[in-house]
Structures are given as structure tokens and as C-alpha cells.
Amino acid sequence: MTSIVDLFVARQPILDGDLGVYGYELLHRSSAMNVYSGTDHTLASLEVINNSLFSLDIAQVAPGMRAFINFNRDLLLSEAAYILSPKHVVIEVLETTVIDADVLAACRKLQERGYLLAADDIVRADQMGPLMDLVDFIKVDFRAAAANDEEEIIKKYGERHRCLAEKLETEAEFERARELGYKLFQGYFFARPVVLQSKQIPAFKMNYLRILNAVHRPDMEFGELERLIRQEVSVTYKLLHYANSALFQQRTHIGSIKRALVILGEQELRKWTSIVLLMHLAQDKPDVLVMCALVRAAFCEALAPLSGVGGRKSELFLMGMFSLLDSLTGFPLEEALRPIYLAPDLRDTLLGKQPSSFPLADIYRLMKAYEQGDWNQVIDNARSLRVEADEIRDAYLRAVKWGDEVFSLLPQLDAVNGLPKGHGKSTPVPVETH
């Protein structure tokens, strides 16, 4: 009999050639000890898949998109996939699977029922034999495959399959994969910018950083903040659009910066001004980078009360968001943080200067480990923080849901009042003054 344990569920985006989100690979695993009293690992995996993808509702973690899910041989033969909708998932056949007649028959049966299949972690064109002609997606491991194999795979299968370059970690790797003809991409390259160390931060981005500095000072002055915001026309309109959105559920229309500042209050003002400015800093960056920053911010905020630092949850929101500030600006994190006021321990955590036993450092490492599916690191940090596994999972799912809600507003915000996407001109804004 297996023990009932908590579980972890995370997601990693799969991008198209324009760096739009095509779908998500779901990273799932039973948490805490990850130990079962029996040896039926297939039953254990079935428990995780059933709980994480069926009971929790797949739409929570991959709304409106396909979810790529790993299946081993036993799961393929057990017909476990049939509890999942073929319209919402892609079945990934693990690279360790022995491809024999039984596996091929199971895969054909899945396809007959409308499921899409993917060959996972491919490093050679002949790696999975006849399965390679059967699957819809071929995921090529760019960390392990040789350069000539990456080329051979795309030449042999690129016209008949959707080839996906995975485990990309740099922009150069992404560009090379795209030039070779790969159509889908996965990895953390979008969070590793090409650092422009020899140039200054552009003036308009520096202005956004000045506003961030003003809004995060402990002695925040509403008058000075209002003056700075009014100088950026699209920042103003987007801030007001946010303040009047369903997320705030205001009964009366907010038509001025001053009213928005008063009604939102300091904590919410810091959060939402940061979100608006985040989008402006990321105007020339992939949308998925904005989504990643939003989820990180909400996840860290949710972990704060669970870790005994609930009084600093608004600061931890910023810690998650600012963890990608180097990617958003294209400059080293220390340089990007310099114009912004942050508590010293928060700044040191972002720059990796805090002791490993420090709570903020544990939360920061837990956030990054969860995002990458490094469950052993997640468990270690959870123990240090004395946080239960199900609390971590639920906090992450809430962060994903919130991030998706905010992200869904982006097209509206870019179109509001006919403003072009990106920063506005530094001119006064004709809004109400009361």
C-alpha cells in the first residue's frame, strides 16, 4: 500500500519563434520524503498525475494551452493518459523508455484517440527507432546533443515534425536553434540577458527606475511620486487602467493619479506601480519574461507569511519581481538595482550576498528551485523554513493564477487610449485633478 503524500506541480514555458508561449511542460513530483512503502512506482506516478492534473484542474497551470507531460513505459502501457483530455495535453515519451512492439502499440492507440506525442530528450536522429516517425514533436536536448546531431535531426525530421530545442540557456543558443530551423524552444535563456556593460541605461528606462525608487522609499512622498508619474503618459494611463480594473473591484471610477494613490494605499501602490513599470522596462523583451517576473513576485509574497516574515510580504513581492531586473534592463543586476531604494538585506539577497541560513535567502532559493523543478532543493529550503509541501504547491498555483489574470490585461493596457506599446512621451497627462 502506498502512502498518501503531498505533491509539487510547476510549469516551464515552451515558446514559439516569436517568443510567444506555445504551451507548458508540467513538472510534477510527490513531495516531502517522496518515499513510498511499496515499490510500485507506476502507481505512485499515477497518484501524482491524477491529483496534480485531474483534481487540481489542468487549466490552473496551463490555461488555454497544451500541457506537455512525461510518461514512462509503465504509464504508457497502463492507459493512464485517458484520464486527461487529448485537447489539453501532449504525452512525452521519456528517453529511458525501451521502444518495443508494446510501446509502439500503446502510442498508436493514443494517437487514434486524438493525443499528440513527443519524443523527449533526443540527442541522436536514430535514438528512439520507429517511434521517431510516429511522434508529433521531437524535443532535442541542446545540453547533451552534439552540434552535428542537432543539425541532422532537424534535416531528417524538420519538415514532418515539430522540432523543439530544449534546455537552452543562452540567447546565442536560442538564435542558433532558430537558424537551424527549430520551431519551438524551451529553457531559461530568456532570463539570461546579453549584458551591455559598456553602455549606460537608456534615459527612458532610467526614468522608470527613478519612479521605482520614489515609490519604494520608506518616506514615500505622494506629491513627488505624482509629479514623476505624470511625466510618463502611458505609465499614467496604464496605472489608472489597473486601478479601475476588476482586480480592484472599485465601485467608483478612479480618474486621477492622486485618487489612485490615496485609494490604493502605500503597499498596493508599490505593488501595482512596480507592475506597470515592469511592463515598460520589458517593452523590448519576450512576454514570457514578464509572466515569469509576475509569478515569481506573487509566489514570494505568498511564501512570506508561511515562513514567518508575513510583515514583509510586500518587500518579498518586489524581491521576486526584481530578481529578473537584469533581464528586463539588459544590465547587471547590481547596476540595475543601484537607482532603487531597497532594504539592505533584500538587496543582498538578490545579489547573492546573504548567508545560506537567512530566511530571505531560503525563500529566494526555493522560488528559483521550484520554477526549475529542482525538487530536492525545494525540499531542503522548505525544511529550513518549516513550510509544508502542500502549502508551497498551493502558493505556487495561486501565483500562477494571479499572474495569468494580470497578464491577460496586457493587450488592453497596450491599446488603452490608442497609445503605442512601450514608454510614452515625457509630457503632462490630461486627467482629472480632483
Residue 1 included in any domain:
no
Closest residue by Cα to residue 362 from 340, 342, 344, 377: 377
Diameter over CA atoms, the chain: 75
Question: Are residue 222 and residue 132 in the same domain, yes or no?
Answer: no
Q: With pLDDT > 70 as the criterion, what percentage of the chain qualifies?
A: 75
Question: Are residue 64 and residue 146 in the same domain, yes or no?
Answer: yes
Residue 275 included in any domain:
yes
CATH code, 184: 3.20.20.450
Average pLDDT score over residue span 247-263: 65
Amino acid at 114: G
Question: Are residue 161 and residue 280 in the same domain, yes or no?
Answer: no
Average pLDDT score over residue span 264-271: 73
Question: Are residue 278 and residue 175 in the same domain, yes or no?
Answer: no
Q: For residue 18, what are the contacts with CB-CB under 8 A and spacing of at least 6? A: none
Question: Are residue 186 and residue 262 in the same domain, yes or no?
Answer: no
Residue 426 included in any domain:
no
Alpha-carbon torsion angle 408, 413, 269, 219, nearest 10: 140
In the numeric block, the cell 505622494 is attached to 222
Question: Are residue 239 and residue 168 in the same domain, yes or no?
Answer: no
Average pLDDT score over residue span 260-267: 70
Q: Which tens digits make up the pLDDT trace of 54-83?
A: 555 566 677 778 889 888 888 899 887 887
CB 184 within 8 A of CB 288: no
Q: Which of 7-16, 213-222, 231-240, 315-324 has the highest mean pLDDT?
A: 315-324
137-141 vs 116-122, strand pairing mode: parallel
The answer on pLDDT for 3 being more than 80 is no
Pairwise pLDDT comparison (427 vs 273), residue with the higher score: 273
CATH code, 297: 1.10.3210.10
pLDDT of residue 425: 31
Question: Are residue 385 and residue 248 in the same domain, yes or no?
Answer: yes
Question: Are residue 255 and residue 160 in the same domain, yes or no?
Answer: no
CB 337 within 8 A of CB 325: yes
Question: Are residue 361 and residue 234 in the same domain, yes or no?
Answer: yes
Least confident of 34-38, 99-103, 139-143, 366-370: 34-38
Residue 115 included in any domain:
yes
Residue 116, CA atoms < 13 Å, CB-side half-sphere: 16
Structure pTM?
A: 0.78
Residue 166 included in any domain:
yes
**E strand or H helix that includes residue 273:** helix 257-281
Average pLDDT score over residue span 222-241: 71
Question: Are residue 169 and residue 306 in the same domain, yes or no?
Answer: no
Question: Are residue 242 and residue 347 in the same domain, yes or no?
Answer: yes
Least confident of 30-44, 133-147, 356-370: 30-44
Give the model's confidence band at 91: pLDDT under 50 very low, under 70 low, under 90 confident, else very high.
very high
Range of the domain at 173: 7-190
Closest residue by Cα to residue 48 from 307, 295, 373: 373
- Provide the 10 A C-beta neighbour count for residue 310: 12
Residue 425 included in any domain:
no
Residue 431 included in any domain:
no
Question: Are residue 146 and residue 12 in the same domain, yes or no?
Answer: yes
The answer on pLDDT for 276 being more than 60 is yes
pLDDT of residue 354: 75
Last residue of a domain, one of 127, 155, 190: 190
Q: Which of 42-51, 52-61, 80-89 has the highest mean pLDDT?
A: 80-89
Last residue of a domain, one of 137, 163, 190: 190
Residue 433 included in any domain:
no
H helices present in 50-125, as ranges: 73-78, 101-112
Last residue of a domain, one of 190, 221, 238: 190
Q: Which tens digits make up the pLDDT trace of 388-419?
A: 988 998 999 999 988 888 777 665 555 443 33
The answer on pLDDT for 423 being more than 50 is no
Report the C-alpha gap between 178 and 220 in whole angstroms: 46
The answer on pLDDT for 327 being more than 90 is no
- Length reported for the chain: 434
pLDDT of residue 196: 41
Least confident of 119-123, 183-187, 383-387, 423-427: 423-427
pLDDT of residue 248: 57
Give the model's confidence band at 200: pLDDT under 50 very low, under 70 low, under 90 confident, else very high.
low
The domain total for the chain is 2
> For all residues of the chain together, what is the average pLDDT?
78
The answer on pLDDT for 270 being more than 60 is yes
Per-residue H/E/C for 147-171: HHHHHHHHHHHCCCCEEEEEEECCH
| Backbone dihedral region for residue 352 (phi beyond 0: left; psi -120 to 50: alpha; all else: beta) | left
